[in-house]
Copies of this chain bind each other. A is one copy, B any other.
């Protein structure tokens, strides 16, 4: 039975595990048939779509109806992390059945360009924009979400998404920072942008991370598991995994479409 706002938590106590699914994890643009960033965090059938990047709406449409997504959470306004919000909202706005507006949580102003792709007003009924400022704590269905500004070219929010003691921390796109280590402290799963393998080139230094950076920060935060994502197209995933493992002794994997992981008590 789907979780619905307004119900008491006792109704959802049947399962405390949080499921994390990968739709795509290609960095910057879709490559080798893989979508860009797109993840689902789910508990008791309440599904939060994180970062609807290029290709994600098409993949989703083959898996669940658009109305099976209960909320959207966006790290930042680069289109490889949010462009497919537009078709997702179309699917809900233009469908025959009237549904509740989809809560879309994003940094203030970050979705302006994507929301302007269609004519003014066309998608208004389909969403309810819940703008936040980095640093705020927000509630998304059964999840408590801590947000934190992490270094990128434009404002980027990292998320620590928690429910009943389990947590997943997601960096969006971000250069290494003490803020991430603090946000990810003892998290069950750190999902970390790792655009590069060992070293970030000079022009991106401080704004993006390597798999090595991600491994080091997972160690510093004492995270349980590390999932590398947003690899630059063409990157060897095994090389990224090795680089992270050189810094982190916990479980390391590279995001690939269809992968699912669970956190929390069974």
Contact = CB atoms under 8 A, between A and B. Distances in A.
A30 B87 contact: yes
A62 to B, nearest CB: 2
Interface residues of A, number: 37
Per assembly, the copies of the chain total 2
B29 A57 contact: yes
Contacts of A26: 61
A87 B94 contact: no
A19 interface: no
A87 B117 contact: no
B28 A83 contact: no
A117 B57 contact: no
Q: Which 8 A-B pairs have the closest CB atoms?
A: A33-B62, A55-B58, A30-B58, A29-B90, A29-B91, A54-B87, A79-B117, A30-B61
Interface of A: 24, 26, 28-36, 54-55, 57-59, 61-63, 66, 78-80, 83-84, 86-88, 90-91, 94, 113-114, 116-118, 233
